[in-house]
Amino acid sequence: MDMKRYMKNEKAMNVTPKKALKGMNKKAIMFSLISVLFAVLFITIFSQKFSDINEERLPGSNMRIKIIDTYIRNLDIYIGDSIKISTYHTLDSITNYSRKNGFFSDKSAFDAAFYNCMTCGYVDCSNQSAAKNCSLDQYYLKFRLDNITALSLEQLNIDTVYNINSISITQHHPFEVEVTVNLSYNVTDNSSHTYYAHWNKQLIITRPVTIIGLLDPTGYINDSGNNYTRRIIRYAGDNVTAPCEFDPSCWNYTNTEIFYNSKTFRDTPTGTSFLQRYWNDYNQSDWGIETILHPSELTNPNKNNSYIDHYYWSGLYTCNSGKIIVNLTFNSNEDIHLDNGTATWYQLRNNSVTYCP
Amino acid sequence: MFKSLKKRGYYFIIDAFIGSTIVFLSLLIILNGGIKPAKIQYNYEMAEEYGSFILTTKMEDLRTHPYVNGLIANHVINDTSLSIMEEVDMLYYYNNLPDATGLIQNLTEPLIPQKYGFSYSIIDGANTTIVYNRTTININDSTMVIASKKITFLQLNSSTMFGPAMTEIKIWI
């Protein structure tokens, strides 16, 4: 036995059992600590993987959430498109309704009728009689929204509950109206018996709606024999340039004749706006439009009147009201009557003769 | 006495260490099994992803695609701001089913592997129109059919709107 081993044995011989156990416990603690460290290390390394695993363990609910998210994004676009389509049809239907029932008393009466037509398809939602029917068929807003909610429930098992809080219509452009709908909806997954996810949203959607192609309310409602059926067509429409579109000083006999024959409307601050025409308001508007009426489209045209549409229907530009009416003919040989102010503005005074007084 | 105590201590520690290792390895093996999505889930995701591609990709982003470019040149496609799904709706609405079929076929071939059957249908009320149907495998012989449905609609002009209808994409294997 070498010296070292001898010394070690000697040392061991002098150690009591208690002391020996204490020494071993220390070593055991060291090993335990190392094993705990290993455990922590494993957990740290794989914790990310564990969370991924947990996510992957819920493919059904993840998929449903993705599907409902896509549906909601589509729903918002659909609501916007439906507002445009419904507004367009509602305006024409209100014009038709007014031909039978007369002009609205003021803007608020028109607004109420517009809201009711959009939400229930009747001018008065509390009186859904044939006489109050807007005749919108499948085009009123609620019908369109009910369509998509029924389809989503039937085909996608998505439950949508919505409420139209308000609808307003304004005009800030001669050939467009603006419709704002305040709407709230709640979307839930109907396939789930547990209430794990739902979408609550309040939307204020504003959409511009063109008036091009709509009936001109003033003439359509006013013309006693129901001959007048002119629709709004813009003078110099999209991608078309027309004489004097941007230069009012260029009007003359030739250019006015082109405008007259086109049966179109041009924007002018002396005219009345499209919406004003529903409550027979002839005040000038920044979004005013005007056209020259053809006597052939009027029932018993009044020759003592100016054929500028908003003047004609207002009845304020007649010889009886002290205005000078001039007479001229265009190449169509139609006998045109204009008030002196308009004839001067269109530079037609030299081509016309005084008709009255 | 010291020797037996020493041995018991070592055995105890090694045993604990081996035990914990086994527990961890077992956990890893069990949980790793969940990382790979199930086959059905993978197929469903493929159908959904394809649906999203059709729904969100605009025709103007596909100008370099020879078939799409041809349709634009021939004025079949006039509004390139429409998505693929909207363009198919438009072609369907105006009864131009051959071009709708061609469009879906040409855009789908590189995206959906040949081993899958595939169909694209428009469900408009009570009518179901199959726009494109790839029957490399007969759907009746398939072991699994995955269907992804999306609501579709399109404002065609100021007074006309197509939809809401359903677009159904089926993938089977």
How does pLDDT run across A139-182, given as a tens digit for each residue? 999 999 999 999 999 999 999 999 999 999 999 999 999 999 99
Q: How far apart are CA A225 and CA A279, in angstroms?
A: 20
Confidence band, pLDDT 50/70/90 cuts, at residue A236:
confident
User: Which pLDDT does position A249 carry in this prediction?
Assistant: 87
pLDDT of residue A356: 80
Phi and psi at residue A291, in whole multiples of 5°? -145, 165
Residues B61 and B109 in one domain: yes
| B6–A81 CB contact, under 8 Å | no
Asked whether residue B10 falls in the same domain as residue B64, the answer is no
Q: By the CB < 8 Å criterion, does A88 face chain B?
A: yes
Is residue A48 over pLDDT 60? no
In terms of Cβ atoms closer than 10 Å to its own Cβ (0-12, 13-18, 19+), residue B62 is buried
Domain of B51, in residue numbers: 39-172
Q: Over range A35-51, report the average pLDDT.
A: 65
- Do B13 and B76 lie in one domain? The reply is no
Binary contact (A38, B21; C-beta < 8 A): yes
- Do B11 and B95 sit in the same domain of this protein? no
Q: With 90 as the cut, is the pLDDT of residue B32 above it?
A: no
Whether residue B155 and residue A31 make contact (CB cut-off 8 A), yes or no, is: no
Q: Provide the shortest C-alpha distance from residue B5 to chain A (in Å).
A: 7
B151 and B103 co-located in one domain: yes
Q: What is the pLDDT of residue B21?
A: 75
Q: Give the pLDDT confidence score for residue B116 in this predicted structure.
A: 86
CB B157 within 8 A of CB A77: no
- Do residues A182 and A203 touch, judged by C-beta distance below 8 A? yes
pLDDT above 50 (res A53): no
Does the distance separating the beta carbons of B123 and A155 come in below 8 Å?
A: yes
pLDDT of B141? 83
B26 and B77 part of one domain: no
Whether the pLDDT of residue A240 is over 80: the answer is no
The pairing of beta strand A198-210 with beta strand A176-189 = antiparallel
Which residues of B sit within 8 Å Cβ distance of A? 1-2, 5-6, 9, 12-14, 16-17, 20-21, 24, 28, 31-32, 34-35, 37-38, 41, 44-45, 48, 52, 55, 123, 149-151, 153, 155, 158-161, 163-166
pLDDT confidence of residue A11 = 54
Q: Which of the two residues, B128 and A356, has the higher pLDDT score?
A: B128
Is A22 in CB contact (< 8 Å) with chain B?
A: no
Backbone phi, then psi, for A231, in 5-degree steps?
Answer: -105, 160
What was the pLDDT predicted at A57? 47
Contacts of A84 in chain B (CB under 8 A): 155, 158
Is the Cβ–Cβ distance between A42 and A34 less than 8 Å? no
Residue A103 reports pLDDT greater than 90:
yes
Query: How high is the mean pLDDT of chain A?
Result: 86
* B86 and B59 within one domain: yes
- The helix-helix angle for B97-108 and B66-73 (nearest 10°) equals 150
A70–B150: do the CB atoms touch at under 8 Å?
yes
Q: Are A89 and A114 in contact (CB under 8 A)?
A: no
In this prediction, residue A61 carries a pLDDT of 73
Mean pLDDT score, B133-143: 84
Rounded CA gap, A145 and A82, in Å?
Answer: 8
Tell me how far the alpha carbon of residue B25 is from its chain's centroid.
35
Give the mean pLDDT of A32-54. Answer: 63
Average pLDDT of the residues of chain B: 84
Number of structural domains in chain B: 2
Residue A341 has what pLDDT?
92
Does one domain contain both B14 and B64?
A: no
* pLDDT above 70: percentage of residues in chain A: 82
Q: Please give the share of chain A, as a percent, with pLDDT higher than 90.
A: 58
Q: What is the pLDDT of residue A233?
A: 93
Please answer yes or no on whether A81 and B24 come within 8 Å at the CB atom.
no
Q: Do B69 and B154 belong to one domain? A: yes
pTM: 0.79
Residue type for B137, please? Answer: I
Give me the pLDDT at residue A334, please. 83
In one-letter notation, the amino acid at residue A343 is: A
On whether both B152 and B78 belong to a single domain, the answer is: yes
What is the pLDDT, as a whole number, of residue B120?
Answer: 94
> pLDDT band for position A39 (50/70/90)?
low
Per residue in A334-351, pLDDT (tens digit) is: 889 999 999 999 999 988
Higher pLDDT, B113 or B152: B152
Same domain, B29 and B101: no
| Arithmetic mean of pLDDT, A99-109 | 95
B90, pLDDT greater than 70: yes
B39-89 pLDDT, tens digit per residue, is 666 777 777 788 888 888 999 999 999 999 999 999 999 999 999 999 999
**Which pLDDT band holds residue A329 (cuts at 50, 70, 90)?**
confident
Phi-psi label, residue B75: left if phi above 0, alpha if psi -120 to 50, beta otherwise: left
Residues A105-127, mean pLDDT to the nearest whole number: 96
CB pairs under 8 A between A and B: 108
Q: How far apart are CA A247 and CA A290, in angstroms?
A: 16
pLDDT, residue A1, reads 46
Nearest to A132 by CA among A157, A90, A101: A101
pLDDT score recorded for residue B133: 92
Minimum mean pLDDT range among A174-178, A239-243, A353-357, B133-137 = A239-243
**Of A303 and A61, which is predicted with more confidence?**
A303
On whether both B21 and B69 belong to a single domain, the answer is no
Tokens encoding A124: 């008065």
Winning range, highest mean pLDDT, from A17-21, A305-309, A347-351, B37-41: A305-309
Can you tell me the ipTM of this complex? 0.75
The predicted model gives B141-168 an average pLDDT of 90
pLDDT at position A273: 97
Judging contacts by C-beta atoms under 8 Å, the chain B residues touching residue A147 are: 164
